[in-house]
Structures are given as C-alpha cells and as structure tokens.
Amino acid sequence: MGTPWLSVGSERGGIQKSVFELARAMSRDHDVHVVCPAPIRPLDAQTSVEPKFHYAAVTELRRYPIPDELDISTEGVLLLIRLIFAIVAMAAAYAGLRRSLRFDVTYMSSKYVALPILLMGRRRSSGAFVYSERNTWPWLYAEPSGAWARLRYRFNVRLGKAVCTRSDGVHVNSDSLADAMAGQGIDRAVIEPIPNGVEAPPETATEPLAPEVRVGFVARLVEDKGVRILVETVRMLNEQRPSMRFDILGDGPSRAMIANANLRNCTLWGERPRTEVLETLRSIHVVLFLSPVENIPSNALLEALALGKAVVATKVGDTPRFLTDRKNALLCEPNPSAVTEAVVALTDAQELYDTVTAGARRLAGVYTWDAVARRHLAFYTSILAAVAG
C-alpha cells in the first residue's frame, strides 16, 4: 500500500491488546500509525519493527465510565466528564495527524471516537474508514428491564448503527456477532468476521497430567463470563475431586461472588500483568471458558490454545464453529453439571487429554497475528477497491 494505515485504541487489555498486536504485525510491511491514550504503565517489550505511536492528551481510562446502574456520585460524574474529554482528545489527535499524512485506511475500535470523526471530519480523500466492533454487548444480549440499563442499551445500539452505516467496512471477531448486528439492520455485506490472533505457539511440552490437577479461569469477573457457572462448578469439583486446585485470574464486579463462596483449593489472583498470567497458565492443566453468550473474542482462549492447554468451553455463539469437540477442546452446555462432567472426563482419560492439547496447539497455529493481519489487509484492499469504484 505504501502510505500509512491508522489504528485507534489503547495498547493493552483485551481489545487494546488485540489492536496493538494487529498494528505490530501489519507494521512489518506497511507504515502504521497508532493514535491512543498515553499509557499508565510502560509498553510491553518492543520488537524490531513497531508502529508509530501518537499519544492523545489523555491517559488510559481504567474503568468503563457508563456502568449498568446510573452513578451520579462525584466520582461517577467526573469519570463521565473524563470520557467526553478523552473522546475529544482522541478525535483531535487523529484530525491533527491527518492534516500531515494521507491514510489509505483508518481502522478505529471506539465508536465514541468514530462517530464525531465520521460526522465532522470525514472526506473521501482520507481513504477508507473501517470500524472494528470488538464488543459482543449490546448486540448478542437481550434488552434489559431496568430503566437506566435499557436507556444505555438502546443508546449503544443506535450509536453502533450510526457508526456502522457511515463506515466503508465493519470488522467483527465472530460470525455470531456479524449475524446479530445484521439482525439489527446493519448491512451484512459490509461486515467481515476476522477473529483475534495469537503469538506463534511456543515449542514447549504440554503440562502432563498429575495427581494434583490444576484448573484455571482467565477472564474479567462479570456474569457475562460465566462466573456463576464457575462458582457452582468449583463447588461440585471440590466434592468429586478434593485434590483439584483452581486458579482464577482476573478482576471485576463479580469478584465478591467468588470470594464469599467459601471455595476450597481456590486461589483468586485478581488482575495480574499479562506476563504473570501466561506464566501461571503454563502450569495449569485445564482452562475454563464459561460464557453463557460467547467465548470467541477472548484473547485468553487463544493464548490457552497456543500453550497447549486442555480447554473446556460452553457451546454458545461461535464457539462450536471455532472449536471442535474432543479434537481441540471439550464443549459442553452452559451449566455447572455439564462443565464438571467435562473436566472430569478430561482429567480421567490421558488419551483424550493428549488429543485435545495437541489439537489446541495446531488450531492456535492457524491464528497467528501474521495470518490474521493478512486477512485484515485483504479486507482493506477490497474496501479500497469499492471506494475507488
């Protein structure tokens, strides 16, 4: 392409890490510019080829400022004001950069920043515009009943539709998300499902089964990730497999549900740096992905596969399309009894365990960041051809 690509997002966390790694992979052959908030912590170790970073006049937001319940406290109002300032700062940083550089493609992962740019600053001379919808909420969820939650839900649907209909292309992580968005009136023809990527699987041996099996759970601790299922599953396994240990990595509003459940052999690690999470995962045998809605956008899932972990995942959303039961994972219904049965089946059968862990590594090898970047580039090329036509 020869001229810059642009990605807007932060550098770490689930969505932020995905955007950052995609930008890194694409920068090997293209001039990539990343507009993002100034990081609170130093960036991860740098590689020999990096995108060019342009920091907006705002630091990262560590907490989502529009919660399920209306927060009119001083802290809540200040956080909302900060979000508005961050949107203005990010849009201004992008606009300033565009005055000095011509972009073939603008790829943006925040609909809050995307809409003002599309409404006020968009010109055909700026190239193609791709919006990346990396959130399953609200698209895969039913409308809530509470007044504030319902207002928040409807606002996000309408905002998402406004951004998508004004974009030249829309990227999502899964077919189920694409179908749900199409069901809300967005043209399915402009939506391209491309999953997240993962670093190439390391050439290390899979953790062999041992008398003391370790089971892990890596996710933000919210009900949408299956925390209730997790708690009941651990209770059942405490009774059936008393020596089994559990490592829960992540933090969130449902942390208290786990902490107050009186679970045995269970370590609640909280939010840890990614290097520590990966180090802990290496010694874990089975990793659980228990969302009752969708598992596929998860970076943790791909990292578990790349490390050759035995994955137990609920059969929801795109999970059955992405994972193959008894080949690279065990799939089960989203209820504690089914999850418990799957964990016991894996840890009681060495042959099944070996098959699933080997299959996990093979599957992860298909979704390296270089392979995912090539799919993105093909998508952008097709959009540019349509825009030029």
Same-domain status, 248 and 357: yes
**Domain check: are 226 and 373 in the same one?**
no
pLDDT along the chain (389 residues), means of 10: 47 67 90 82 58 83 55 76 86 89 91 89 70 90 86 93 96 95 96 92 73 93 93 98 96 93 96 89 96 87 95 95 97 98 96 96 94 96 89
pLDDT of residue 379: 97
Domain count across the chain: 2
Prediction pTM value: 0.88
- Helix then strand then coil, in percent of the chain rounded to 5, is 45, 15, 35
- If asked whether residues 154 and 113 sit together in one domain, one would say yes
Classify residue 175: in a domain, yes or no.
Answer: yes
- Model pLDDT, residue 127: 86
- Domain co-membership, 324 together with 372: no
In this prediction, residue 170 carries a pLDDT of: 98
The values of phi and psi at residue 54, to 5°, are: -130, 110
Whether 384 maps to a domain, the answer reads: yes
Query: Does residue 209 form part of some domain?
Result: no
Residue 82 is inside which H or E element, if any? Answer: helix 74-100
Q: Are residues 265 and 361 in the same domain?
A: yes
- Domain with 108, as residue range(s), is 5-197+368-388
How far apart (Å, rounded) are the C-alpha atoms in residues 61 and 178? 27
Distance between CA atoms of residues 280 and 142, nearest Å: 35
Examine the domain organization and report whether 247 and 290 are in the same domain.
Answer: yes
Radius of gyration (C-alpha) of the chain in whole angstroms = 21
Q: Which pLDDT value is given to residue 41? A: 53
Q: What are the tens digits of pLDDT across the range 356-389?
A: 999 999 999 999 999 999 999 999 999 999 988 7
48 and 91 co-located in one domain: yes
**Does some domain include residue 205?**
no
Tell me what pLDDT residue 197 has: 94
Please tell me the predicted confidence (pLDDT) of residue 10. Answer: 39
pLDDT at 15: 67
Task: Tell me the one-letter amino acid at 145.
Answer: S
Measured distance CA(43)–CA(273) in Å, rounded: 12
Each residue's pLDDT tens digit, 56-78: 888 766 555 455 566 677 877 78
Assess if residue 202 is contained within a domain: no
User: 184 and 316 in one domain?
Assistant: no
Q: Which residues contact 173 (CB under 8 A, 6 or more apart)?
A: 134, 193, 194, 195, 196, 296, 297
Are 192 and 57 members of one domain? yes
Residues 181 and 226 in one domain: no
Q: How far apart are CA 254 and CA 222, in angstroms?
A: 5
Residues 231 and 142 in one domain: no
Domain co-membership, 101 together with 61: yes
What CATH number has the domain bearing residue 25?
Answer: 3.40.50.2000
Torsion of CA 162, 167, 173, 174, to 10 degrees: 70
